[in-house]
Amino acid sequence: MGATQKADPREQTLLRMIALLEGAAAQGATLIIFPELAFTTFFPRWLIEGDALDAYFERSMPNPSVQALFDRARELRVGFYVGYAEVTPERRRFNAAILVEPNGSVLGRYRKVHLPGTREPRPNTAFQQLEKRYFEYGDLGFPAFRAGSDWQSAILGMMICNDRRWPEAWRVLGLQGVELVCVGYNSAAYDPNGGASEDEALRTFHSKLVAQANAYMNSTWAVAVAKAGDEDGSGLIGGSCIVDPNGRIVAEATTLSDELLVADCDLDLCRQGKDKMFNFEAHRRPQQYAAITSQVGVIEPAFVNIDKSTDRFRAAQPSS
């Protein structure tokens, strides 16, 4: 999807999404993946409070402001993944996604685990990244869902944006035999405050690289879908791609605008990896992975053999 500006009415955004959905259905697609926070601009770039913030959140899914998309999908017998900002009746807020099957039933819900950014606004900058302020950490884990017959009983998983850079998220899905992972994202193309940082090409390379390698290492299809382009003065990378279980890109976006990528995802292509190279039962050694779940941050090895005669010794100190 191309950018969605703050001033864009919901109806306009929904019409764009329905047009994409209809185009995909016309090409035979049965699963359509929309981006993270697909119905709005990426609002965590601003400090917003009160009613103005509430306006970005969905109190239920579906709801009247998105119902037309759900209705059209069911009519066309296509399902979809879409990301949105969720507020619960208890006023809990999550960066969420939903998988809706072609028959209209909700197959599963997901709440983003890996929230980037900060809780406190950075002073004197035009743009923020306040996901840690606006959202709670996802509390549903990384569940995989067994689809119904419209989707050939596929095992499907969801991630949102930054999750895709964390191999733990992929592996938890892989351990459930996932065959296709849906990822929507909004990823900055550059530092919108003008700081020195990776350029857009490198950021797009990173985005594809993690989808490709994690798809391969978990023998799964991966579909990573951007909201792209200039959004309210802040640039978002494109790079949407469909990746096969060998980690090869089989379709990729060429624009930063609304654009359809369609691929035939043969789920049986997952078997080669799952049964041989990545046969987890035969080859994983969890007794050697303890640190992954027993610690959060880095614990560096202590210094040894310190040679005080040289000035090449670095100043860093061990964190434990």
Helix (H, G, I), strand (E, B) or coil at 123: coil
Residues designated as active site: 36, 112, 161
Residue ranges in 198-217 that form contacts with a copy of itself under rule CB under 8 A: 198, 202, 205-206, 209-210, 212-214, 216-217
- What pairing do the DSSP bridges indicate for beta strands 234-236 and 106-111? unpaired
Confirm or reject binding of residue 310 to a copy of itself (CB under 8 A): yes
Residue linked to tokens 């406190």: 120
Residue ranges in 108-147 that form contacts with a copy of itself under rule CB under 8 A: 113-116, 137-138, 141-146
Q: In terms of Cα–Cα distance, which of 157, 283, 260 is closest to 215?
A: 157
Q: What is the Cβ-side half-sphere exposure of residue 211, based on CA atoms within 13 angstroms?
A: 34
Minimum distance from residue 213 beta carbon to a copy of itself (Å) = 3
The amino acid occupying position 304 is: V
Confirm or reject binding of residue 246 to a copy of itself (CB under 8 A): yes
Minimum distance from residue 312 beta carbon to a copy of itself (Å) = 5
* Residues 87 and 58: beta-carbon distance below 8 Å: yes
Single out the segment in contact with a copy of itself by CB under 8 A; choices: 3-11, 35-43, 258-266, 279-287: 279-287
Residue linked to tokens 């923020």: 128
Confirm or reject binding of residue 7 to a copy of itself (CB under 8 A): no
Return d(Cα 245, Cα 236) in angstroms, integer.
Answer: 27
Confirm or reject binding of residue 264 to a copy of itself (CB under 8 A): no
Residue ranges in 283-302 that form contacts with a copy of itself under rule CB under 8 A: 283-286, 288-302
Q: Could you report how far apart the first and last alpha carbons of the chain are, in Å?
A: 45
Q: Which of 94, 110, 185, 278 is in the footprint of a copy of itself by CB under 8 A?
A: 278
The count of chain residues that interact with a copy of itself, using the rule CB under 8 A, is 86
